[in-house]
Amino acid sequence: MSGLVREAKTLQGIVAMDGPSGTGKSTVSRRLAVACGAAYLDTGAMYRAATLAVLRAGLDESSPTEKIVAVATAADVESVTDPTAPGIRLAGEDVEAEIRDVPVTKLVSAVSAQAEVREALVARQRRLIDAAVAAGGGIVVEGRDIGSVVTPDAPLKVYLTASDEVRAARRRRQDARAGRAADAKATLADVRRRDRLDSTRAVSPLHAAKDALVLDTDELSVDDVLTALLGLVEERGLCSPTPR
């Protein structure tokens, strides 16, 4: 990582990373976890895996809510918290690629808006977080309600943001790398649709926690954001030298 050579550190505690899609949240969260010898949890992937279970059950947004909730809450979702090889499994199957496809992206906001689904997955998320901290280390957790709901007592909460246009452009580049069609207008419309659904849902709407540090990534590279985050971790006294 150019310009980021530092003494090896180990994170102690929780870093809560929130923000809408396309802010660079996943990339910098993983890199921060790697740099700090911490675990990493992508909570959005958990909701996507539960949504994939709904789709595989032959359900969609028009299906009865109780059926969607029953399938999503019962889904066998397993998160791999190693930041060097993160992953998500559904019933033991690696579904990391499939959960990023268009069908899941279109349905995930509707599934994750259900109170019972959020309650079930938040409970699982807290168990993973507690296990990482109990093991004597730390964890970087990313999502849309981490600082406000999942870990409201996290010692460092960061809310990443960026303009709609910048986030849509990043999404198109990501889709292109994955071999998916990336229409500019459609992607921008979908980004705004997701924002609207996530920020207006009745349960755990997307917003920055009152004590979160807001970081606009429009003009920042991944290295710039990571440098800022490493500085914040050190300022909060959340890291210690890694034993040699």
Does a structural domain hold residue 1? Answer: no
Beta strand spans in 91-129 (E): 93-94
Q: Which two tokens stand for residue 105?
A: 């992206």
Does a structural domain hold residue 48? Answer: yes
pLDDT band at 3 (very low <50, low <70, confident <90, very high): very low
Q: Give the model confidence (pLDDT) of 86-136 as tens digits.
A: 999 999 999 999 999 989 999 999 999 999 999 999 999 999 999 999 988
What pLDDT shows up at residue 241? 59
Full residue range of the structural domain in which residue 190 is found: 9-241
CA-to-CA dists, residue 79 to 12, 123, 127, 192, angstroms: 21, 13, 11, 28
Does a structural domain hold residue 141? Answer: yes
Does a structural domain hold residue 217? Answer: yes
Q: How much is the pTM?
A: 0.88
- 104 touches 52 (CB < 8 A): yes
Q: Give the model confidence (pLDDT) of 24-37 as tens digits.
A: 899 999 999 999 99
Q: Could you give the number of structural domains in the chain? A: 1
CATH of the domain at 236: 3.40.50.300
Q: What average pLDDT does range 58-87 have in this prediction?
A: 96
- 182 touches 7 (CB < 8 A): no
Does a structural domain hold residue 4? Answer: no
Q: Could you give the CA distance from residue 143 to residue 146 in angstroms, rounded to a whole number?
A: 6
Does a structural domain hold residue 225? Answer: yes
pLDDT band at 155 (very low <50, low <70, confident <90, very high): very high
Does a structural domain hold residue 3? Answer: no
Q: What average pLDDT does range 135-160 have in this prediction?
A: 95
Does a structural domain hold residue 2? Answer: no
